[in-house]
A and B are shown apart, each in its own frame.
Chain A
């Protein structure tokens, strides 16, 4: 496989009001094309990933006045979508279906004057039938559903709230060095411990941000990438893992996620060992998600994620730099485009003061649902040699 990411476009992200998801998407695609040194007319493939509000779609093609579209689809794998879009773009390019594929995520859930929590009310499901029993019992939104997963991990392995806090503190330390981050004020473990309880054991500072905005990337062949403006970011390997948890005895829910399958497949395809990865950009909807993904990818043993993050390994200066832009916890919440955008920046060596010196191999995760859907990418500034 010889595809590369050659363009990255990000809009202003966060509490940006008065613009629709489509407005953001159009801007991000334009920026990504310009970043690559391409024009909109060069794009002949488009994948659209609408966010939770689901208010942008294939009509982006006509909004952009695209006339030579050979590949067009909406991709919906929730938080795993960004990684999936790159995978399908690489396959399509390899198959000759398209030459230059734009992949975009856009959403505008925040409304002026409304709480962030109101952006995801979770009441969309009809309260009819047995499928709505968990909702009726109170598991309505993401925090309480992830709380049940985190609690299971804590009880099984002794993971503590302070260890989750270490993930939040590290993310904020990275965000302080990211001009695009929404939250750059330093926080301490004490701040984490005293932050409001959202759904025990998850506190406010265990939870990601909510952001309006869009991120787009451009994928093309490695050959064409070599002729473009930016240093290419080559796609070495990928995987997906969708565990299909069943609600019954023996379920690994909360203990092992789709990252185990997806990460192993991606490493195998890339032909690299996990110890060779220099940078980790992991989907961090909650602090716990970072921790369990580190375990499932094999950066530490199962059950030792708590001690691993508390050791400072993932923070600036640590042995395993992770979520170097501040992640969804502190920078911006663009689903899987949050880790993917920072991965592109790091792989290019454009991280400025937060640049990780060893950026030859970057591992990127995407996670959707409640640990239900997972994608992985392994990226490198070098053409694949093995």
Chain B
């Protein structure tokens, strides 16, 4: 299963610009010193409105996941899709497709690194790579 295409809007332009350069940005509050998820307009801890984009490490750990069985098309088998919720080192959670993930490695706390792919007709998008 592949990623669905996503296009930028004004708010997300810096985020997607950075993804294209292989960098992950999250939202950072100057007043609280806390990080929030990319979609956040307010600090997810203090509701402060002083968020700015800041580069994150791109490393995290698995919180939860699901495996969606692939739907065969024209008798061609389709691979299962592993989708994980990843807690970044900075704190925010990201929902990431984990392409070609070994389901035997799925466990809470499993290390995940963010990688970057560009589906057809889409901005670059983050995906997760499980590290054993």
- A→B interface (CB under 8 Å): 127-139, 144, 147-149, 151-152, 155-156, 196-201, 246-249, 251, 254
> Which residues of A are found within 8 Å of B45, using beta-carbon distances?
246, 248
A200 touches B36 (CB 8 A): no
Partner of B5, one of A127, A134, A201, A249: A127
Contact present for A138 and B1 (CB under 8 Å): yes
**Which residues of A have CB within 8 Å of B15?**
130
With CB as the reference atom, state the residue of chain B lying closest to A151: B64
Instruction: Answer whether A137 and B3 are a contact pair too, CB < 8 Å, given A147-B66, A155-B108.
Output: yes
Decide: B4 and A136 in contact? CB cutoff 8 A. Answer: yes
Known A-B contacts A199-B68, A246-B44; the reply to A128 vs B83 at CB < 8 A is no
CB contacts under 8 Å to A, within B47-97, are 63-69, 81, 83, 85, 87, 91-97
Instruction: Write the nearest CB–CB distance from A326 to chain B, whole angstroms.
Output: 26
> Which residues from 9 to 51 on chain B have a C-beta closer than 8 Å to any C-beta of chain A?
9, 11-12, 15, 35-39, 44-45
Report A-chain residues with C-beta under 8 Å of the C-beta of B8: 128-129
Interchain CA distance A136-B122 in the complex, whole Å: 10
Q: A129-B8, A138-B3 are in contact. List 17 more A-B contacts (CB 8 A).
A: A128-B6, A129-B9, A130-B38, A133-B125, A134-B95, A136-B97, A136-B122, A137-B97, A138-B97, A148-B66, A151-B65, A197-B67, A198-B69, A201-B66, A248-B87, A248-B91, A249-B93
| 0/1 interface trace, chain B 102-132, chain A, CB 8 Å (1 if under) | 0000011000000000000010011100000
How far apart sit A183 and B92, CA to CA, in the bound complex (Å)?
42
Q: Is the CB of A128 within 8 A of B93?
A: no
Partner of A155, one of B39, B44, B64: B64
Tally of chain B residues near chain A (CB < 8 A): 42
Judge whether A197 and B95 touch: CB under 8 Å: no
Contact B6 A127 (CB under 8 A): yes
Contact of B6 among A136, A139, A155 (CB under 8 A): A136
Q: A136-B3, A148-B65 are in contact. Are A249 and B91 (CB under 8 A)?
A: yes
| Cross-chain contact B44 with A248 (CB below 8 angstroms) | yes
What is the chain A residue whose CB lies nearest that of B108? A155
Of the candidates B66, B92, B108, B127, the one whose C-beta lies within 8 Å of that of A199 is B66
Closest Cβ of chain A: how far from B20's Cβ, in Å?
14
Task: Give bound CA distance, A320 to B92, whole Å.
Answer: 39
Q: How far is the CA of A130 from the CA of B24 in the complex (A)?
A: 12
Subset of 12 A-B contacts with CB under 8 Å:
A128-B7, A129-B39, A136-B122, A137-B125, A138-B81, A139-B95, A144-B83, A148-B65, A148-B66, A148-B85, A152-B64, A247-B37
Instruction: With both chains docked as a complex, state the minimum distance between the C-beta of A385 and any C-beta of chain B, in angstroms.
Output: 43
A349 vs B4: C-alpha distance in the bound complex, in angstroms? 51
**Distance of B67 from chain A, by nearest CB (Å):** 4
A133, A136, A148, A197: the one contacting B64 at CB < 8 Å is A148
Kindly list the 9 A-B residue pairs having the minimum CB-CB distance in the complex, ordered from nearest. Answer: A147-B66, A134-B95, A200-B67, A152-B64, A247-B93, A246-B44, A130-B38, A129-B9, A249-B91
User: A248-B91, A249-B87, A251-B93 are contacts. A138–B5 as well, Cβ < 8 Å?
Assistant: no
Q: Name the one of B1, B11, B97 contacting A130, with C-beta atoms under 8 angstroms.
A: B11
Note all chain A residues with C-beta closer than 8 A to B9.
128-129
A133 and B122 alpha carbons, distance in the complex (Å): 12
Which residues of chain A have C-beta atoms less than 8 A from B92's C-beta?
247-249
Q: Name A133's contact: one of B35, B63, B65, B95 (CB within 8 Å).
A: B95
Tell me, in angstroms, the Cα distance from A249 to B8 when the chains sit together: 26
Closest CB in chain B relative to A82 CB, distance in Å: 28
Contact between A133 and B6 (Cβ–Cβ < 8 Å)? yes
Q: Chain B residues with Cβ under 8 A from A147's Cβ?
A: 66
When the two chains form their complex, are residues B4 and A127 in contact, meaning their CB atoms are under 8 A apart? Answer: yes
